[in-house]
């Protein structure tokens, strides 16, 4: 018996067959995420949701022939995307994602930005209850921007997360949501796990028709495939799904390093501090610092170094193989780096300092960048737990699994052993765990995670 898992990522839409008997993920297929709409106004990032659906249907069709006895479809999604959706799954807006920054536009009053005005109307208690997540890029900023201009859509449409829209559109159903994607909207009380009425009123969003919050594993739509109805389970956020797929334990520190990166710890109850607090599975919570510069920042350096070749029509086929080798060979440089080339947990301005001629090489440059990343992770991990309660590091995400030097520098900074996530397809393994519970093969998500951990026989830590 199998499930199909779909990951709606920022760069790719990915699907695979999840074999519930062998616990293996097979026939993984990818489609590039559609490009942003051209002519977009600065600070705005919008996509055509129907192009997203075309890509989803394409990747779904490519794996269906291999799915065998299909028991359901499980989905995770890039967080903070939103599409205004009808009760039968039709889009009534473009898709805006976490990259949309229109809340930083000057407020119509002439005083500050929309984000400044939004922050001024929320109390410190509101921000705490919302998980300390308030920042540009959240749907709540878009909602406030629309409300201030009298442009909120009427109550016949629902602001659905990207994945909730996809399920609604596939199945012709009303969009609903779970707490992981409700939290991503920026209006969830993370302790009560309900929409925060106080924050909604403070921001003038009472007209907003927010989706119904349903338990994990609720069937929110049925997809007709070859004459039979296949259940589509409530989608989850890719952040929580990746941590679940890493099979993170309570005494381990998660470092998920890919396009972006996060450090995270699991807690049995909601904890609050200089970090975000997010609902997890099984009644637990994750405390985390997110948006730490990683692959996106490194890719910016690659683009800079490739510019002259590109201008002469030369395409570098695989710069990363050389980068990894050169950085490994370079001695520890005097050069220091800060990779905050865009708004991030590390600031909004990057820099390279202490540069000398002998170190103006690709190897020294990227070694300095990797050392900066290691320092960032240690600093933000200490924000989560000054006592350093973790006994082991758990690495997930494609970037850190491929670059040995980056792992070495991080472990050297932390003085801890580490293990890798069981597979590079961490979100798909997380969907496997969820699917086992949602389809009734186990009685809970925690039991499913324990079962998968035993099957994968998590190896001894690496020093």
pLDDT average, residue stretch 113-128: 97
Give, in degrees to the nearest 5, the angle at Cα 346 between 345 and 350: 135
pTM: 0.91
Domain C-terminal end among 238, 257, 288? 238
User: 344 and 396, same structural domain?
Assistant: yes
Residue 347 belongs to some domain of the structure = yes
Q: Are residues 223 and 258 in the same domain?
A: no
Structural domain total, the chain: 2
Tens digit of each residue's pLDDT (9 = 90 or more) over 337-358? 999 998 889 998 999 999 999 9
Contact 4, 63 (CB under 8 A): yes
**pLDDT bracket for residue 458 (50, 70, 90):** low
In a domain, 159, yes or no: yes
Tell me the residue range of the domain where 77 lies. 2-238
Phi and psi at residue 261, to the nearest 5°:
-155, 160
Q: Which DSSP symbol is given to 82?
A: B
What is the tens place of the pLDDT at every residue in 70-107? 999 999 999 999 999 999 999 999 999 998 999 999 99
Question: CA geometry: angle at 297 spanning 295 and 302, to 5°?
Answer: 85
Give residue 271's pLDDT. Answer: 95
116 and 226 fall within a common domain: yes
Judge whether residue 216 has pLDDT over 50: yes
Angle at 454 (CA atoms; ends 416, 444), nearest 5 degrees: 105
- Residue 459 falls inside a structural domain: no
Does 260 share its domain with 220? no
Q: Which domain-ending residue is among 238, 273, 291?
A: 238
| Residue 434, domain member (yes or no) | no
pLDDT tens digits, 375-429: 999 999 999 999 999 999 999 988 888 899 999 999 999 999 999 999 889 999 9
Whether residue 222 is found in the same domain as residue 269: no
Question: Are residues 218 and 298 located together in one domain of the fold?
Answer: no
Instruction: Specify if 445 maps to a domain.
Output: no
- Helical residues (DSSP H) of 353-423, grouped into ranges: 362-384, 398-402, 404-414
Q: Which residues of 319-349 are buried (b: 16+ CB within 10 A; e: fewer)?
A: beeebbebbeebeebebebbbbbbebbbeee
Residues 233 and 267 placed together within one structural domain of the fold: no
**Is the predicted pLDDT of residue 460 greater than 90, yes or no?**
no
Residues 398 and 268 in one domain: yes
CATH code: domain of residue 308: 3.30.420.40
Q: Residue 450 domain-assigned?
A: no
Q: What is the pLDDT of residue 227?
A: 87
pLDDT at 459: 43
Say if 297 falls within a structural domain. Answer: yes
Whether residues 266 and 359 fall in one domain: yes
């Amino acid at each position: 018996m199998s499930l199909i898992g779909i990951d709606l990522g920022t760069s790719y839409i990915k699907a695979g067959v999840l074999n519930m008997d062998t616990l293996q993920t097979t026939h993984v297929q990818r489609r590039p995420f559609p490009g942003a709409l051209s002519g977009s106004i600065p600070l705005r990032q919008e996509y055509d949701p129907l192009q997203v659906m075309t890509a989803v249907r394409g990747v779904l069709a490519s794996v269906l022939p291999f799915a065998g006895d299909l028991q359901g479809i499980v989905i995770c999604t890039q967080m903070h995307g939103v599409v205004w959706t009808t009760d039968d799954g039709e889009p009534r807006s473009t898709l805006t994602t976490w990259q949309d920054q229109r809340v930083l536009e000057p407020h119509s009053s002439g005083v500050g930005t929309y984000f400044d005005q939004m922050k001024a109307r929320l109390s410190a208690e509101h921000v705490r209850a919302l998980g300390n997540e308030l920042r540009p890029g959240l749907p709540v900023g878009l909602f406030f921007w629309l409300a201030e201009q009298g442009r909120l859509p009427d109550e016949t449409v629902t602001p659905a997360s990207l994945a909730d829209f996809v399920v609604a559109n596939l199945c012709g159903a009303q969009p609903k949501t779970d707490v992981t994607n409700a939290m991503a909207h920026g209006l969830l009380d993370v302790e009560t796990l309900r929409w925060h009425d106080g924050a909604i009123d403070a921001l003038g969003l009472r007209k907003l028709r927010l989706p119904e919050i349903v338990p994990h594993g609720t069937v929110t739509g049925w997809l007709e495939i070859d004459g039979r109805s296949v259940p589509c389970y409530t989608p989850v956020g890719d952040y929580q799904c990746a941590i679940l797929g890493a099979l993170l334990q309570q005494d381990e520190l998660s470092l998920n390093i890919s396009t972006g990166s996060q450090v995270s710890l699991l807690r049995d109850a909601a904890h609050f501090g200089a970090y975000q607090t997010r609902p997890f599975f099984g009644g637990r919570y994750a405390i985390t610092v997110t948006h730490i510069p990683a692959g996106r920042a490194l890719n910016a350096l690659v683009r800079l170094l490739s510019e002259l070749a590109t201008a002469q029509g030369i395409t570098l086929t695989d710069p990363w193989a050389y980068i990894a080798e050169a950085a490994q060979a370079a001695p520890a440089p005097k050069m220091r780096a800060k990779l905050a080339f865009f708004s991030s947990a590390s600031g909004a301005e990057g820099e390279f300092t202490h540069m000398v001629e002998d170190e103006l090489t690709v190897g020294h440059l990227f070694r300095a960048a990797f050392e900066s990343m290691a320092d960032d992770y240690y600093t933000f991990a200490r924000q989560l737990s000054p006592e350093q309660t973790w006994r082991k590091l758990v690495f997930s995400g494609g970037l850190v699994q491929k670059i040995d030097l980056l792992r070495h520098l991080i472990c050297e900074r932390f003085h801890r052993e580490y293990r890798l996530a069981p597979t590079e397809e961490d979100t798909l393994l997380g969907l496997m765990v969820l699917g086992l519970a949602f389809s009734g093969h186990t009685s809970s998500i925690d039991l499913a995670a324990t079962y998968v951990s035993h099957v994968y026989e998590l190896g001894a830590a690496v020093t």
